[in-house]
Amino acid sequence: MARFHDLEVTDVRKTIRDAVVVTLKPACGAAEEFDFTQGQYLTFRRDFDGEELRRSYSICAGKDEGILQVGIKRVDGGAFSTWANTELKAGDTLQAMPPMGTFFTPLDGAAEKHYLGFAGGSGITPVLSILKTTLDAEPKSSFTLVYANKGVNTIMFREELEDLKNLYMGRFNVIHVLESDAQEIDLFTGLVTEEKCAQLFEHWIDIQSVDTTFICGPEPMMLGIASALRTAGLNDSQIKFELFASAQPGRAKRKAAAADAASSANQTKAAITLDGATQTIEMGKDTTLLDAALENAMDAPYACKAGVCSTCRCKVLEGEVEMVANHALEDYEVEKGYVLSCQAFPLTDNVVVDYDQ
């Protein structure tokens, strides 16, 4: 199971008004665990008023730069990103899991490929890591980046990208598409849509020469780009996506308090919600929530029935249940009310559980 490690914050630098680049150093000999592949992300955890929040941010450093850096853009109402942008400073300690994610393709020093990256806003972070690593590791390959932003002053890593253009002259090309700032070429103004991509492929990007594409941005933008790429003849294995929820909730809701105390009766009334429908059933306290749901013809999810795989996870909204085994859920999930329904027996006379949360 995933383990968290301490990371020392060695630098916090603003890249635009509401985004910071955080440099990290693994503490206590965990350096090896944080040996990342370009395009991967780190999942951080932090306690906010007694409640643990977890957030994932992509690494923006190149693989061989010898540093670990993530970019964090402030999201309106986002507790973690706001804190990172206003209070986080060098010398602090953060906790993160080792790098995860598969937003990359293998590199080959002899390869002569053309890569095409699309980034929207803070979606640049993993793409930046990929393009820096690729241009360094594959001297014959080239990279074209289409980078969408609201305006000039919201472009993260603008100067760094200019420097890279000079460093890799002729191999690295950036097309900035700005939503609200007018540019010399009309095509470079507006949103990156399917139509816009099709136009870019006509005169600006030789799509036939593209081997692999990387897309990271908001959902509608990714859909439009992917559709244009498929129309242009690319197949699924040539299109790599990375999506992080654009609207991350600021703070998780408090767990509902137990409605009533346990009583002596051996029966429980359970209201179980699955696929938007709620069924209220009578069940014995010696039956698991999962078996009770299955016996009542509900199509509750499960696989191992041994508390190992977490397929049967559901959330307890009211009442109390007890898990006899748990090899899959972490403490913070249990605190939020999640249980493995195959291992959960009701303790109170009423329970309300939800598979849809």
Which residues contact other proteins (rule: CB under 8 A)?
Answer: 1-2, 41, 43, 56, 100-103, 120-121, 148-150, 179, 191, 217-223, 226-227, 236-237, 240-247, 275, 299, 301-306, 308-313, 327-330, 333, 355-357
Rounded to whole angstroms, what are the CA distances from 242 to 53, 218, 219?
21, 10, 10
Closer Cβ to other proteins, 61 or 177, answer by number: 177
The count of other CB atoms within 10 Å of the CB of residue 263 is 12
Element of type H or E holding 200? helix 194-203
Shortest CB 238 distance to other proteins, Å: 11
Burial of 209 (0-12, 13-18, 19+ CB in 10 A): exposed
Q: Is 223 helix (H, G, I), strand (E, B) or coil?
A: helix
Length reported for the chain: 357
CA torsion sign for 198, 175, 248, 125 is: positive
| CB 41, min distance to other proteins, A | 7
242 versus 349: smaller Cβ distance to other proteins: 242
Q: How far is the CB of 275 from other proteins (least distance, A)?
A: 7
At 314, list the tokens: 């559901």
Tokens encoding 26:
């693994």
- Relative to beta strand 277-284, strand 267-274 is antiparallel
C-alpha gyration radius of the chain: 24
Nearer to other proteins, 258 or 308 (CB): 308
Q: How far is the CB of 91 from other proteins (least distance, A)?
A: 28
Contact indicator for 131, 227 with CB cutoff of 8 Å: no
**Which residues share a beta bridge with 54?**
45
Q: Between residues 302 and 345, which has the closer beta carbon with respect to other proteins?
A: 302
- Give start and end residues of each alpha helix (H) in 208-303: 219-231, 289-295
CB of 213 to other proteins, least distance (A): 12
- Residue 101's CB: how many other CB atoms inside 10 A? 17
Nearer to other proteins, 187 or 309 (CB): 309
- Nearest approach in angstroms of CB 242 to other proteins is 5
Amino acid at 142: S
Residue number with CB closer to other proteins (138 or 291): 291
Pairwise CA distance, residues 20 & 125, whole Å: 11
Q: Are 261 and 348 in contact (CB under 8 A)?
A: yes
Of 171 and 315, which CB lies nearer to other proteins in the complex structure?
315
Q: Nearest approach, Cβ of 170 to other proteins (angstroms)?
A: 29
Cα separation, 48 vs 82, whole angstroms: 12
Q: Residue 104 or residue 172: which is nearer to other proteins going by CB?
A: 104
The per-residue DSSP string of 275-288 comes to TTEEEEEEEETTS-
User: In whole angstroms, how close is the CB of 229 to other proteins at the nearest point?
Assistant: 12
Q: With respect to other proteins, which residue has the nearer C-beta, 108 or 206?
A: 108
Instruction: Give min distance, CB of 216 to other proteins, in A.
Output: 9
